[in-house]
Amino acid sequence: MHRNGPSTGLLLLSPTILSVLGGIINPFSYVHPVRTAQRATSLLGRWALDGLTAIGELGRLLAEVLRVLVRDRQRREVIVIQLYHIGYLSLPVVLITGTSIGLVLAVQSYATLHRFNAEVMAGPMVNFSMVTQLAPVLTGLMLAGRVGSNMSAEIGTMKVTEQLDALRTMGTDPIAYLVGPRFLACVLLTPLLTALAAAAGILAGWFLIVSVYRVDGAAYWDYSQRYVAAWDVLTGIGKTVIFGGLIALVACRRGLQTRGGATGVGEACTKGVVQASVLVLIANFLLTLMLQKVWTTIYGN
C-alpha cells in the first residue's frame, strides 16, 4: 500500500501546473502565425475583389450616365435644382475653406521666408499652392462631404421606400432622372467652386502679407506672375472636373445600392463620403503625376 503524500499530488498536478506556467512564461502563445497570415491574405483578397467590383460598377454607371446625357432630353427644372443645391448652397463652406487655407499659408510662408529676407517670395508660394493643389483638393473633399452625403442619402431613401421602382413603373429611367443631372451639375460646378476657393485664398493671403506684414505689394504680384503660369491655373482647376464626376458617381452608386431601411441609408451616406474622399485624393495624385509628365514632355524642364 502506498501513501498519497504531497509529492504524489504535485506529480499528479504537474501537467496542469506546467501548462499554466507555460502560458505565463510565453504570453504570446495564443498567436498562430499561419492562421493570422491566412486571415490577412483572405482579407486583402476580399478588398481587392471589392475594389475591382466597385471599379467595374462605376465604369458601367458612367457609361449609362453618358448615354442618357447624349440621347435623352434632360429636364431643365431638375438640372436647375441640382445647380442650386450643389453650387449655390456650397459657396459658404468653399469660400470659408479657401480663405482659411490662404491665411494659414500666408502665415507659414512669411515665417519661413522671413529668415532668408525673401518675404516677397511668399506670393508665389501661396498662390502656386492654392491654385495647383490645395484649392482643388479641399474643394473636392468639401463637396464629397456636403454634396456626396446628400446624394447618397436622398437616392438611398428613395431606394428603400421603393420610389425608384415607382419611377420605373411610370416609364422613367432613374439614371436619367436622378443620376444624370447630379453628375452634370457636379462636373460643371466643381471647377467654378475651385476657382472661387482659390481666389478667396489668394486674396486672403495677399491681404495678410501686404497689409499686415508690410511686404511690398508690387513685388508680391510681380513674383507671383513670374512663377505661377497659365498652365498651373488651367491644370489645377481642370482636374476638378474629374473630382466632380467621381463624387457624383460614387455617391449615386451608394444610394442606388442602399438596403436595410434607415440604417442602410446611414451606412450608404457614410460609405459614399469616405469612398468619394479617398478617390479624390488618389485621383489628385495620379493626375499630378500625369500632368507633370506632360509638362516635362512639352517644355523639357
Q: pLDDT digit string (tens) for 225-258?
A: 899 889 999 999 999 999 999 999 999 999 998 8
In order of 71, 157, 159, 241, the CA distances from 168 in angstroms are 18, 16, 12, 30
- pLDDT for residue 21: 47
- pLDDT for residue 10: 46
Q: What is the mean pLDDT of residues 126-138?
A: 93
- pLDDT for residue 260: 82
Q: Which of 197, 187, 188 is nearest to 130 (CA)?
A: 197
3-state helix, strand, coil in the chain (%, to 5): 85, 0, 15
At 259, phi and psi to the nearest 5? -145, 155
Report how far residue 83's alpha carbon sits from residue 204's, in angstroms, rounded to the nearest whole number.
27
69 vs 250, residue with greater confidence: 250
16 vs 109, residue with greater confidence: 109
- Percent with pLDDT over 70 in the chain: 88
- Mean residue pLDDT of the chain comes to 85
CA dihedral sign of residues 265, 266, 269, 270: negative
pLDDT > 80? residue 28: no
Q: What is the pTM of this model?
A: 0.82
pLDDT tier at 37, thresholds 50, 70, 90 = confident
pLDDT > 60? residue 30: no
Here the cell at position 39 is: 486571415
- pLDDT for residue 117: 86
pLDDT > 80? residue 75: no
pLDDT > 70? residue 84: yes
Segment 1-19, tens digit of pLDDT: 445 555 555 444 455 554 5
**Cβ-based neighbours of 61, under 8 Å, separated by 6 or more:** 175, 179, 249, 252, 253
Range from 82-96, 145-159, 287-301 carrying the lowest mean pLDDT: 287-301
pLDDT > 80? residue 27: no
pLDDT > 50? residue 162: yes
Q: What is the mean pLDDT of residues 74-82?
A: 81
